[in-house]
C-alpha cells in the first residue's frame, strides 16, 4: 500500500485528479470506479476544470459508482445519481449509457444488486476504483462486520453513517435507512484502488488501516491484501499514524 501524504484538502484534490487523469490519458477506454461523499468533490472539480481547459475526453470511459441510497428517487437532490450528475457527468463528455450507479428506485433491490454485479463483470475488470473511507472504516456502504466475500448487496446503514450523512438532508429522519453497495469482493476485483482521506474525522480510521491488520470489523482493512492500492491522505487524516 503506497501512501501519498499531502498537506491539505486542496493538495489532496489535485493529487487525486492527477492520479485519475494520468490513467484516463493512458487508457481512454478505461473502466473507472467512482465514489460520492465530501472527499472526492474537490477531485471532481479539478477533473471538470481539466476537461474545460485541457480537453481530456471521457467519450470512451465507462464508470461504475460504488453505491446508492435505496428508495430515494434518482431525481432527489440527495441521490448519488444527482450528486454524480452535478459534480461530474453533466460537465464532461461521457455518454449517458456509459455511466452506471445501482438503481435505488428498483422494485426488487436483490435483483438490482445481482444485475449490477453482472454489469460490472460484463464490462470487464474495473481499472481504477476511487474510494473514500468512513470514520468507522466503511468503504462503499460496507459497514463493520461485512464479509470480505461480499458482492453487490443491500445494507442497513449504521446509525453513525446516517448521522454523518445527515448534513446533506434537512434532518436525520430523511436519511434513507438502506443502500445498495458494491461488496468488498467487488471492490477488491479492481486492478487498482485509490483511497482518499482528508481531515481529523478520518484520523482514527487511517491509524487503524495503516497499522496493518486485516479484520472484518474494519472493512477498509480488506485493502491490505490488494496488490495495488494508493492512499492519498492529508496531514490531518494522518495525524494519529505513528
Q: Counting contacts by CB under 6 A, is residue 229 touching ligand F6R?
A: no
Q: Is 196 helix (H, G, I), strand (E, B) or coil?
A: strand
Q: Minimal distance in Å, beta carbon 29 to ligand F6R?
A: 23
Nearer to ligand F6R, 30 or 139 (CB): 139
Whether 93 sits among the annotated catalytic residues: the reply is no
Segment contacting ligand F6R (CB under 6 A): 46-54, 85-93, 115-123, 139-147? 139-147
Q: How many CB atoms lie within 10 A of CB 172?
A: 11
Q: Counting contacts by CB under 6 A, is residue 104 touching ligand F6R?
A: no
Q: Which of 33, 102, 104, 140 binds ligand F6R (CB under 6 A)?
A: 140
Q: Counting contacts by CB under 6 A, is residue 176 touching ligand F6R?
A: no
Segment contacting ligand F6R (CB under 6 A): 22-30, 36-44, 143-151, 186-194? 36-44
Backbone angles phi, psi at 153, to 5 degrees: -150, 170
Q: Which of 23, 51, 138, 162 binds ligand F6R (CB under 6 A)?
A: 138
Segment contacting ligand F6R (CB under 6 A): 14-22, 90-98, 133-141, 212-220? 133-141
Residue 181 CA to residue 70 CA, distance in Å, equals: 10
Residue 219 CA to residue 142 CA, distance in Å, equals: 7
Segment contacting ligand F6R (CB under 6 A): 128-136, 148-156, 204-212, 227-235? 128-136
Among residues 13, 2, 66, the alpha carbon closest in space to that of 40 is found at: 13
Cell numbers placing 134: 468512513
| Catalytic-role residue among 65, 138, 142, 234 | 138
Q: Minimal distance in Å, beta carbon 202 to ligand F6R?
A: 7
Cα–Cα–Cα angle for 36, 184, 215, rounded to 5 degrees = 115
Question: Which residues, 6+ apart, have CB-to-CB distance to 22 below 8 Å?
Answer: none
Residue 129 CA to residue 147 CA, distance in Å, equals: 19
Q: Is 125 helix (H, G, I), strand (E, B) or coil?
A: coil
Cell numbers placing 220: 477498509
- What residues line the site for ligand F6R (CB under 6 A)? 35-39, 66-67, 132-134, 138-141
User: What residues are annotated to the active site?
Assistant: 67, 136, 138, 143
Amino acid at each position: 500500500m503506497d501512501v501519498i501524504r499531502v498537506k491539505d484538502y486542496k493538495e489532496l484534490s489535485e493529487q487525486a485528479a492527477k492520479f485519475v487523469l494520468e490513467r484516463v490519458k493512458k487508457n481512454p477506454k478505461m473502466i473507472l470506479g467512482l465514489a460520492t461523499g465530501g472527499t472526492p468533490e474537490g477531485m471532481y472539480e479539478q477533473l471538470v476544470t481539466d476537461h474545460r481547459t485541457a480537453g481530456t475526453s471521457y467519450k470512451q470511459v465507462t464508470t461504475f459508482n460504488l453505491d446508492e441510497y435505496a428508495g430515494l428517487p434518482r431525481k432527489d437532490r440527495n441521490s448519488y445519481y444527482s450528486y454524480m450528475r452535478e459534480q461530474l457527468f453533466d460537465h464532461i463528455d461521457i455518454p449517458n449509457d456509459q455511466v452506471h450507479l445501482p438503481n435505488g428506485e428498483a422494485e426488487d433491490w436483490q435483483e438490482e444488486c445481482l444485475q449490477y454485479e453482472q454489469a460490472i463483470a460484463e464490462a470487464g475488470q474495473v481499472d481504477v476504483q476511487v474510494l473514500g473511507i468512513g470514520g468507522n472504516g466503511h468503504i462503499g456502504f460496507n459497514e463493520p462486520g461485512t464479509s470480505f466475500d461480499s458482492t453487490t448487496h443491500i445494507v442497513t446503514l449504521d446509525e453513525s453513517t446516517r448521522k454523518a450523512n445527515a448534513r446533506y438532508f434537512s434532518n436525520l429522519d430523511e436519511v434513507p435507512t438502506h443502500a445498495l453497495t458494491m461488496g468488498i469482493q467487488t471492490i477488491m476485483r479492481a486492478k487498482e484502488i485509490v483511497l482518499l482521506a482528508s481531515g481529523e474525522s478520518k484520523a482514527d480510521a487511517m491509524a487503524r488501516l495503516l497499522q496493518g491488520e486485516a479484520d472484518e470489523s474494519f472493512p477498509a482493512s480488506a485493502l491490505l491484501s490488494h496488490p495495488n492500492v494508493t492512499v492519498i491522505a492529508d496531514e490531518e487524516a494522518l495525524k494519529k499514524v505513528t
